[in-house]
Amino acid sequence: MKPIQSPPGVSSPMKNRLRKRPDLSLPLPLRNVALAVPLPLPPPSSSSSAPASSSGTQTNSLSELERVNRIGSGAGGTVYKVIHRPTSRAFALKVIYGNHEETVKRQICREIKILHSVDHPNVVKCHEMYDNNGEIQVLLELMDQGSLEGAHVWQEEELAHLSRQILSGLAYLHRRHIVHRDIKPSNLLINSAKTVKIADFGVSRILAQTMDPCNSSVGTIAYMSPERINTDLNHGRYDGYAGDVWSLGVSILEFYLGRFPFAVSRQGDWASLMCAICMSQPPEAPPTASQEFRHFVSCCLQIDPPKRWSAQQLLQHPFILKSTGGPTLRQMLPPPPAS
């Protein structure tokens, strides 16, 4: 490559400028590999109803899915039960509201590729993603008995079995460096085989961060850890794994009590919830509970994040180990709605 020549009659300033202090030099900045961020994936070649590559399920077109009924909805989208006509298999189709910018869709595509590789009996399987004229639709494993929201599991043997399933899925995600960020009863689903699975992670986290840049915590803060709500705690550092464990502890204690464990309503205003979670002592299991369960809850609900046990450690807790692995779990489902 030839050097750039100055125009005729104009001398190059670099040639005339003498270096006054040849002993001085600026060092190159050191690159912190831990802070490296992967580049986004390129956009899909077609913006029609083209699915992402599937795992174990071949649904070539969105038109092959027949909507049966709506099974849930929230601030981010609606979930439908669908039937794949060629195979007659039932799935859940999550339709995420709105037409998203290309950068958001690229992030979702990248996250879906990660979710496709997730394969664990206690994590809801993500099969495909469709870009339907800018509207994101995700095909998921159908959990036909719904969520555990409102469940009252007061028998400790059944609660230990439930907790072991959730912890097994959560430990798997954490080993793969996936933080859920939204563990709560409504995101813990159950099927007719009484298998409990963790749902609603990945895409919802991206949307929470991109739809509203001023509020990355879309939804309730009821199950969030104190240091996530109040960033002044823990010196401003947030450990997502420890945050998941706190949310798990709140959820498990709620199952046992049959109510939200703090002294406020989980639907309460932000200020009341913040005071209850950040400025009060963590809730405890009642004295009538076993010593193992009370200790298990305290291992999850430590104010200091480093003192919380990891999901893998909790799997070895005496409360979990006493689970026989096959109770009826008859009390895990909320009562049927009154007609």
Give residue-wise pLDDT tens across range 68-126.
Answer: 999 887 666 789 999 999 999 999 998 877 666 777 777 777 777 777 889 999 999 98
- The per-residue pLDDT for 205 is 56
Q: Where are the beta strands (DSSP E) in the chain?
A: 65-73, 77-84, 89-99, 126-132, 135-140, 188-190, 196-198
Q: How many CA atoms lie within 13 A of 295 on its CB side?
A: 9
Give residue-wise pLDDT tens across range 6-15.
Answer: 455 544 444 4
Which residue ranges form the domains of the chain, and what is each CATH number? 62-140 (3.30.200.20), 156-321 (1.10.510.10)
**Residue 3 burial (10 A CB sphere; 0-12, 13-18, 19+):** exposed
Active site residue 182: yes
Region of 134 on the Ramachandran plot (φ > 0 left; ψ -120 to 50 alpha; else beta) = left
For residues 132 and 151, what is the distance between their CA atoms, to the nearest angstrom?
A: 36
Candidates 23, 119, 182, 239; catalytic one: 182
- As a whole-number percent, the residues of the chain with pLDDT over 90 amount to 49
Give residue-wise pLDDT tens across range 244-283.
Answer: 999 999 999 999 999 999 999 988 888 999 999 999 999 9
pTM, entire model: 0.75
Sign of CA dihedral 263, 266, 272, 273: positive
94 in a known ligand binding site? yes
